[in-house]
Each structure stands twice: as structure tokens, then as C-alpha cells.
Amino acid sequence: MRKSFNGLSGLVKNELGREPTSGDVFIFLNRNRTHLKLLHWEAGGFVLYYKRLEQGSFSPPVFTGDNHCLTWSKLVLMVEGLQVKEAHQKLRYPR
């Protein structure tokens, strides 16, 4: 977890083959999953979020297939340490 803006954006470009300035959020976890970094490009430059847990560990998302995308709500749940075993969304009808 020693890398900062340039190192992480280099990893995104060279290892993942993605463009770090695309506006996507890239998630980096250390081996013990106690440190988390989020790299994000905004209009003025890169933003780096860093969170270190005092107890416990982050639960990395489970991806199926080649699609490694996460919704914003699932990202927030992961950062906050909440796990959803089963989600059910009710249909909403206009009145």
C-alpha cells in the first residue's frame, strides 16, 4: 500500500489495461484486507480515498465472469463493512 496517485494509475494502465482517467473507481486492497484505497478521476485530477481498519477486514466483492463492475451502492456497503446475503427489490408502481 505504498503506491500513491502515479503508482496506482500506472497499475491500472499497465496491469489492467484500463484508462485511469475514464471516471471509473478502482479498488485496491492489501493482502490482509485491512487497508483499502480507491482511485478516482474527477474533472480537476485524481482523488485517492484511503481507509485503514482498526479491527476486522474488508470483504472483497465476488465477481462472476469477465465483468468486474460494482454498483455504487455495493461499493459503499463494502467500504462500510456491511454484507448483504440476499437482496430483494420490490416493484414500484406509479400512482
Mean pLDDT value across residues 10-16? 93
pLDDT of res. 6 = 93
Please, are residues 19 and 26 in contact by the beta-carbon 8 Å criterion? Answer: no
Please give the mean pLDDT across all residues of the chain.
88
Helices (H), 1-95: 5-14, 72-80
User: What integer pLDDT is reported at residue 8 of this predicted model?
Assistant: 95
Q: Which are the contacts of 8, defined by CB distance < 8 A and separation ≥ 6? A: 20, 26, 28, 37, 39, 48
